[in-house]
Amino acid sequence: MSTGNIAPPAHHSTKTAKLLAKRAQLTEDSTYVKHGTSQEIQREIEAINFVHQHTSIPVPSVVETFIDENPAAESSWFSMKEIPGSSLTTVWATMSPTARSKTQSDLQKYLLEMRNIPPREPFYIGSCGGGPVYDHRLNNGFPCGPFTTESDFNDYLVAPVARCPKKELVGYYRQQMANDHGLVFTHADLNGDHILVDPATGRINGVIDWEMAGWWPKYWEYTKSRFGSRYQSWWVGLMNNVLTPYLHELRIEKDLQEF
């Protein structure tokens, strides 16, 4: 790990770079550099290494890292080798049925590998390194937790509801939330932009953007895959085929995201 005043490799902006990952830029030597705070960079590198060690999922190969000693600065970075292929979002519509079937098969296999990693003991919802978890869905994008029970996590999810005039909504939602889903290792930001494929064969060449990965309740991968504007019918159908659809949890989550 590097420290000190080291400049990141020179880069040039491309449309591919924007699709690859937030804050990631393609350099002149065909590596990508991703910037962020020291905590953000360390958390994602830990997740990439963890997934590489425990699964066959094709993840980015980390080349070099720089961690700024100032935790508030967004000047930390890591570089990674370019992964060949196209984002699934851009090529799904033109892929053959055979290629789509291959992508679905690969994705289902990789998700199962991830979800079969034995969870940490004792129970906790957090990053793979044992610290707070990050998800843009929570805490205005700042880290939170870790949580030692799903009940504590659920209490945290409904806490923003208390700020609305109808205080009774806190109990209304909380009583519908189970405390016993169990934990699985989760990407937590799964979408078509983060899956790189060979459009001719459908083979998945890479899964990227692991900064939110960690130990989450079993439903979190599904509900997060449906987060925000990820409503395209092809994507919804794919997620329903590769993950157990947690439709009750999705309905609650959609409501809670409004608070």
64-116 tens-digit pLDDT: 999 999 988 999 999 999 999 999 999 999 999 999 999 999 999 999 999 99
More confident residue, 123 or 79: 79
Find all residues with CB under 8 Å of 228, minimum gap 6, and list them: none
Whether pTM > 0.85 for this model: the answer is yes
Which of 19-23, 40-44, 157-161 has the weakest average pLDDT?
Answer: 19-23
Q: What is the pLDDT of residues 222-241, one digit of tens each?
A: 999 998 656 799 999 999 99
Give how far the C-alpha of residue 90 lies from the chain's centroid of Cα atoms, to the nearest Å.
19
For residue 27, pLDDT beyond 90 = no
> What pLDDT does residue 23 have?
60
Torsion sign across C-alpha atoms 158, 162, 165, 168:
positive
Q: Assign domain 11-81 to its CATH superfamily.
A: Phosphorylase Kinase; domain 1 (3.30.200.20)
Distance CA 88, CA 103 (A): 9
* Boundaries of every domain in the chain: 11-81, 86-256
Q: Assign domain 86-256 to its CATH superfamily.
A: Aminoglycoside phosphotransferase (APH), C-terminal lobe (3.90.1200.10)
Mean pLDDT of the chain: 90
The alpha carbon torsion through 124, 130, 131, 135 (nearest 10 deg) reads: -60
- Angle at CA of residue 55, ends 207 and 32, nearest 5°: 35
Least Cα distance to 77 among 63, 90, 57, 87 occurs for 63
> What pLDDT does residue 8 have?
55
For residue 30, pLDDT beyond 90 = no
The β-bridge partners of 31 are 81
Distance CA 202, CA 97 (A): 9
For residue 160, pLDDT beyond 60 = yes
